[in-house]
Amino acid sequence: MIKKFFEWVISPMGRVAVLIGVLALFSLATYGISQSQASPPQPLEFRHDVHVTKGVQCLYCHPGALRGPSPGLPTITKCWGCHQQLAITKTSPRLEKMVALIDPATNQPTMGFEWVPVVQVPDFVHFTHRPHVAAGVNCEDCHGDLSKMEIYENPQVFNMGFCLNCHKEKAGDDQEKLTKLTDCGTCHY
């Protein structure tokens, strides 16, 4: 049985099969990796570039970054705070979904959007925003220049190498800082 299979692989037919197989695996791997980094579809296509270029601060919508582990996602109340006064709210087709959720009687949203998180780290990584923001790391340093992103996309893969590179760089010559920032237990517990 094995001999027959081996003979088939050596044959021209077999070699083409192997070549196609390898190419398929390669393309599939590339596709898979690219897909894992692509942004998932969201309930509403929120335009970061529009808001950022208009001067809205990151911390206005994501205040948790200053205080704790998670920056948080804004409630529609926050969006509506400005958008109820903006002309574009009535004209933009994209905003129809949000307008539909506002109860005209109370001027309050009835539900929230089910946002899909784009930046996800595994649950064995305990990342907290507060010390990073406090240390002067800008949002763009990790999340990219949002004034140029229509739909948010990770500018690079959020893997351990990415974190450690910056940690080592920021620690510089300070041995104590370097020890702390490269300690396994600082993030994995």
Partner 1 sequence: MSEKISRRDFLKLASAGAATTAVLTGCGPASRYVEREPYTKMPEYTYNGLSTYYATTCRECAAGCGLIVRTMQGRAIKVEGNASNPVNLGKTCARGQATLQGLYNPDRVGSPTKQGRGSSVSPMDWDSAIQIVADALKNNTPSEIAFLMGTGSDHLFDLVSDLANAIGAPAPARFGALSMFESRATLSKAAENLLGQSAMPFFDLANADIVLSFGANFLETWLSPVAYTRGFAKMRRGNPKQRGYFIHFEARMSQTASKADEWIPLLPGTEGLVALAIGRLVAEAKGGATPEAFASVDPLEVASTSGVKLETLEHIAQLIVEAQTPLAIPGGAALGQSNGLSTAEAVLALNALTDNFGKPGGVFVSPLSPNEDAYHRPASALEITEFISKMKSGSIKALFIHGVNPIFELPKSFGFEEALGSVPQVISFATFPDETAIASDYIFPDHHGLESWGYQRVATGSMQPVLSGLQPVVNGVYYTTTDPDTGADTSELLYNARGTADVLIAATQLAGGKFAEALPFKDEVEFIQSKLVNLISEADGSFSAPEINTFTAYFQQHGGWWKKTAELATPSASSVLSKSVNAETAQFAGEGEFIFLPFVSPTLGEAGANKPWLQELPDPTTTVMWNTWVEINPETAHELGITNDDVVEITSEAGVVKAAVYLYPAIHPGVIAMPFGQGHTAYGRYATSVGVSEKFMDLVPTSQYVNGGKAFPRGANPADVLGAHFNEAGDLAFAGMKVEVKKTGEKQVLSRLESRIGVYGEGMGEEH
Partner 2 sequence: MSNQMVDLNRVGAKGAIAEAAEGKWGMVIDRDLCTGCQACVAACAMENNLSFVGEEDAGYGRTQHWIRIERLWEGEYPGVKVEGGFQPMLCQQCGSAPCEPVCPVFATPHSEAEQLNLQVYNRCIGTRYCANNCPYQVRSFNWRDYHIEPFHANLVTGQLVFPLHNQFNPDVTVRRRGVMEKCTFCIQRIHSAQDKAKSEGREVEDGEFTTACAQACPASAITFGRLDHEESLVSQLGHVSRGVKHLEELNTLPRVTYLEKG
Q: Which residues bind partner 2 (CB under 8 A)?
A: 122-124, 126, 128, 130-131, 134, 179-180, 183-186, 188-189
Contact partner at residue 16 from partner 1, partner 2, none, CB < 5 to 8 Å by partner kind: partner 1
Q: Which residues pair with 104 in a beta bridge?
A: none
Residues 59-88 that bind partner 1 (CB under 8 A): 63-64, 67-77
Contact call for residue 151 and partner 1 (CB under 8 A)? no
Shortest separation between residue 11's beta carbon and partner 1, angstroms: 7
- Please name the amino acid found at residue 147: S
87 or 184, CB closer to partner 2? Answer: 184
Sequence-distant contacts of 149-156: CB under 8 A, at least 24 apart: 149/48, 149/49, 150/45, 150/47, 150/48, 150/49, 151/39, 151/42, 151/45, 151/46, 151/47, 151/48, 152/39, 152/46, 152/48, 152/118, 153/37, 153/38, 153/39, 153/118, 154/37, 154/39, 154/118, 154/119
Neighbours of 131 (CB within 10 A): 11
Token pair, residue 106, equals 């109370």
**Smaller CB separation from partner 2, 105 or 135:** 135
Query: Is 25 a binder of partner 1 (CB under 8 A)?
Result: yes
186's contact among partner 1, partner 2, none, with CB below 5 to 8 A by partner kind, is partner 2
Q: Which residues bind partner 1 (CB under 8 A)?
A: 11-13, 15-17, 20-21, 23-25, 27-28, 31-33, 35-36, 38-40, 63-64, 67-77, 108-117, 120, 128
